[in-house]
């Protein structure tokens, strides 16, 4: 029996990359997983890969009506919710001096506002023993050149967990941050190319980028009772990048 047997999980940004890797691990551990994302084709492909214990809902975390549809689907099928992995994220480069209001809005609407409403709207369905996982980033600790808005948004996500752990006192619901470093998702490999991947790999003591499955494994740990005495914590899965 898997450690998530009988659990119901929501993963935003769950059709590709880290979200899909986490969904695979959650399903392997026995959970039913609702993946949420903007691209129907990617969601359909992910559900086909994940199998019978996966469901898909299309939408954006920055649109509250979309999130309402997501949680209505969860409630209709299962009534309650055990795990929320708020993984949807956005980020692009804009150097200081070139940052626009539109760039800030795009980043913060997804990474901060989207995370807040993803969790806030899930709470009525959650019960004692529930686990909330937020995707942070090594950039939220170290900063990243040309990534002002992204780095600031991920630092904000780290503090959301601290604040919410206080707000959730007495509920039995935990909230933690999973902070990856450079991860070899299909998108990252395509955008960085071979040379770019080598550069990012060289920045970590382990001298490589993470495989998405390594991030998914830690997400499963935070979702399970194995992490039952953890809340308000940040787990860095970054090959040591932000730790030295």
pLDDT per residue as tens digits for the range 163-203: 999 999 999 999 999 999 999 988 788 878 999 899 989 99
Asked whether residue 120 is assigned to any structural domain, the reply reads: yes
Average pLDDT over residues 215-226: 98
What's the Rg (C-alpha) of the chain?
17
Asked whether residue 30 is assigned to any structural domain, the reply reads: yes
CA distances from 183 to 19, 186, 189, 192 (A): 12, 9, 9, 11
* pLDDT tens digit sequence for 4-22: 999 999 999 999 999 999 9
* pLDDT tens digit sequence for 51-100: 999 999 999 999 999 999 999 999 999 999 999 999 999 989 999 999 99
Residue of 27, 224, 219 lying closest to 136 (CA atoms): 219
Active-site choice (154, 169, 189, 198): 154
Q: Which class for 158: exposed (0-12), middle (13-18), buried (19 or more C-beta within 10 A)?
A: middle
The residue to which tokens 């490999």 are assigned: 189
At residue 58, the 3 state secondary structure works out as: strand
Asked whether residue 111 is assigned to any structural domain, the reply reads: yes
Known active-site residue 150: yes
Number of domains forming the structure of the chain: 1
In degrees rounded to 5, what are phi and psi of residue 6? Answer: 80, 0
Known active-site residue 95: no
Asked whether residue 169 is assigned to any structural domain, the reply reads: yes
* pLDDT tens digit sequence for 38-49: 999 999 999 999
Domain that holds residue 68: 8-184+210-237
Asked whether residue 49 is assigned to any structural domain, the reply reads: yes
Asked whether residue 112 is assigned to any structural domain, the reply reads: yes
Asked whether residue 60 is assigned to any structural domain, the reply reads: yes
Structure tokens at 61: 């975390």
* pLDDT tens digit sequence for 128-150: 999 999 999 999 999 888 999 99
What count of other Cβ atoms lies within 10 Å of the Cβ of residue 3? 16
Q: What is the CATH number of the domain that holds 158?
A: 3.40.50.720
Active-site choice (7, 24, 71, 150): 150
pLDDT value at residue 192 = 85
């Amino acid at each position: 029996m898997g450690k998530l047997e009988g659990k119901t999980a929501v993963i935003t940004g769950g059709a590709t990359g880290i979200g899909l890797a986490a969904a695979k691990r959650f399903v392997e551990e026995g959970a039913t997983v609702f993946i949420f994302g903007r691209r129907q084709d990617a969601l359909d492909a992910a559900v086909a890969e994940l199998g019978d214990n996966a469901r898909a809902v299309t939408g954006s975390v920055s649109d509250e009506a979309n999130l309402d549809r997501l949680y209505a689907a969860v409630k209709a099928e299962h009534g309650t919710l055990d795990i929320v992995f708020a993984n949807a994220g956005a980020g692009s480069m804009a150097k200081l001096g070139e940052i626009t209001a539109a760039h800030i809005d795009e980043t913060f609407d997804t990474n901060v506002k989207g995370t807040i409403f993803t969790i806030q709207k899930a709470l009525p369905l959650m019960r004692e023993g529930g686990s909330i996982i937020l995707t942070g980033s090594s950039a939220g600790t170290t900063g990243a050149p040309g990534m002002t808005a992204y780095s600031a948004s991920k630092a904000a996500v780290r503090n959301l967990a601290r604040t919410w752990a206080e707000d959730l006192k007495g509920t039995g619901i935990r909230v933690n941050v999973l902070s990856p470093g450079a991860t070899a998702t299909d998108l990252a490999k395509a955008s960085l190319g071979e040379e770019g991947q080598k550069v990012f790999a060289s920045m970590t003591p382990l001298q490589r980028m993470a495989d998405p499955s390594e991030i998914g494994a830690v997400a499963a740990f935070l979702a399970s009772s194995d992490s039952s005495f953890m809340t308000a914590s940040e787990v860095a899965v970054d090959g040591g990048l932000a730790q030295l």
